[in-house]
C-alpha cells in the first residue's frame, strides 16, 4: 500500500513537471511586434488636384513644383527655332515618325512600328554636320516667308506623306507633300529619313545589348549596309557606339569582329 502511494505521488510529480515545460517555453519566447504596414508608392504620394481658377485666388503664388522641391521647367524662348518633321505611311513597317528638335539639333523622336505594342519616344540629336544641312535647306527655301507648294506634279502614295514645320520668332509655317521636285524640299525629307534610320538603329542596338545580345550581329550587319548605301544621317556620330560594341562582351564574337571592321573603315574615311 505504501509503495502504491509513493508510485502515485511520483507520477503526479512527473505530470506537473511536464505541464510546466510548455509554460516556461511560452513565457521565454519573445513576442515580435508586427511591422507597421508600409503604404504603397501610389498611396504615399498625394493625388494631384488641379485647382479651379476661383480657388487659386489668395493662395501662395509659388508654383507647386517649386514647393515640392522639383525644379520648374524653364520656359521656352518664343524666338527660338523649333523644327518638326513628321512622316506617315500605313503600309510601312515604321508607319509613323515624329521628330522635333531645337536650333542645337536636340529634341525627341516618336515612332510606331508594327512590331511594337505602343508608340515609343526617345531622345534625339542631330550632329552639327547634319544640322547645318537641315538649316541650309530651310534657308534655301526661305521657308517662313514662302508660300510655295512643294508637292510634285505626280503623287506617289506608296512613298508616304511628309510634313515639315518651322516655328521661329512667333511665326510658324507647315508644308506637306508626298514627293517634291524641289531639290531643297526633297533634300529636307531625305535628311530626316536618314536621321530616322540612324535613330532607330541606335535604339535597336541598345535594346539588343541589354536584353537580346544574340540579335546584335544582325543589327551590326544592318549598320554596315546603311553605311555602304550612304543612308545614315552622320556615320561619324556613331563611332563612339561602334567602339563600345567592339569591347562589349555581351555581344557575340562575330558581332564584335564585324564592329571592329566597320570602325576601321570609318577611321580610314576620316584620314
Same domain, 94 and 141: yes
Same domain, 165 and 226: no
Which helix (H) or strand (E) segment holds residue 86: the answer is strand 82-88
Same domain, 233 and 170: no
Is 60 exceeded by the pLDDT of residue 115?
yes
Which residues lie closer than 8 Å to 95 by C-beta, 6 or more apart? 88, 89, 112, 113, 114
What pLDDT is recorded for position 78? 66
- Band (pLDDT 50/70/90 cuts) for residue 168 is very high
Domain boundary among 132, 158, 191: 191
DSSP-assigned letter for residue 93: S
Same domain, 266 and 218: yes
Query: Crossing angle for the helix pair 239-247 and 216-228, nearest 10 degrees?
Result: 150
Domain extent for 89:
77-191
Indicate the number of domains in the chain. Answer: 2
Any domain includes 21: no
The answer to whether the CB of 96 falls within 8 A of the CB of 116 is no
| Cα–Cα distance for residue pair 264/245, rounded to 1 Å | 13
Same domain, 168 and 216: no
What's the pLDDT tens digit per position in 120-167? 999 999 999 999 999 999 999 999 999 999 999 988 989 999 999 999
List the one residue out of 76, 87, 81, 79 whose CA is nearest residue 164.
Answer: 87
| Cα–Cα distance for residue pair 76/34, rounded to 1 Å | 52
Same domain, 88 and 187: yes
Q: Which of helix, strand or coil describes residue 113?
A: strand
Any domain includes 34: no
Same domain, 90 and 170: yes
Higher pLDDT residue, 256 or 32? 256
Is 80 exceeded by the pLDDT of residue 249?
yes
What pLDDT is recorded for position 76? 62
- Band (pLDDT 50/70/90 cuts) for residue 192 is very high
Full-prediction pTM beyond 0.85?
A: no
Same domain, 88 and 141: yes
Domain boundary among 139, 160, 191: 191
Amino acid at each position: 500500500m505504501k509503495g502504491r502511494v509513493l508510485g502515485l505521488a511520483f507520477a503526479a510529480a512527473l505530470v506537473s513537471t511536464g505541464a510546466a515545460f510548455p509554460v516556461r517555453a511560452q513565457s521565454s519566447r519573445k513576442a515580435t511586434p508586427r511591422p507597421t504596414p508600409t503604404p504603397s508608392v501610389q498611396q504615399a504620394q498625394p493625388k494631384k488636384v488641379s485647382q479651379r481658377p476661383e480657388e487659386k485666388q489668395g493662395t501662395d503664388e509659388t508654383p507647386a513644383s517649386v514647393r515640392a522641391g522639383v525644379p520648374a521647367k524653364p520656359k521656352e524662348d518664343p524666338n527660338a527655332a523649333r523644327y518638326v518633321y513628321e512622316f506617315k505611311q500605313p503600309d510601312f513597317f515604321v508607319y509613323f515618325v515624329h521628330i522635333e528638335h531645337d536650333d542645337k539639333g536636340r529634341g525627341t523622336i516618336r515612332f510606331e512600328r508594327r512590331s511594337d505594342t505602343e508608340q515609343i519616344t526617345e531622345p534625339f540629336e542631330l550632329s552639327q554636320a547634319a544640322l547645318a544641312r537641315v538649316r541650309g535647306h530651310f534657308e534655301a527655301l526661305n521657308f517662313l516667308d514662302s508660300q510655295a507648294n512643294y508637292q510634285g506634279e505626280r503623287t506617289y502614295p506608296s512613298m508616304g506623306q511628309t510634313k515639315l514645320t518651322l516655328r521661329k520668332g512667333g511665326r510658324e509655317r507647315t508644308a506637306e507633300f508626298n514627293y517634291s521636285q524641289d531639290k531643297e524640299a526633297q533634300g529636307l525629307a531625305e535628311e530626316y529619313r536618314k536621321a530616322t534610320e540612324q535613330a532607330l538603329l541606335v535604339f535597336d542596338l541598345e535594346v539588343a545589348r541589354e536584353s537580346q545580345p544574340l540579335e546584335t550581329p544582325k543589327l551590326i550587319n544592318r549598320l554596315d549596309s546603311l553605311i555602304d548605301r550612304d543612308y545614315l544621317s552622320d556615320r561619324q556620330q556613331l563611332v563612339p557606339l561602334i567602339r563600345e560594341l567592339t569591347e562589349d562582351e555581351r555581344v557575340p564574337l562575330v558581332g564584335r569582329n564585324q564592329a571592329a571592321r566597320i570602325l576601321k573603315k570609318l577611321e580610314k574615311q576620316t584620314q
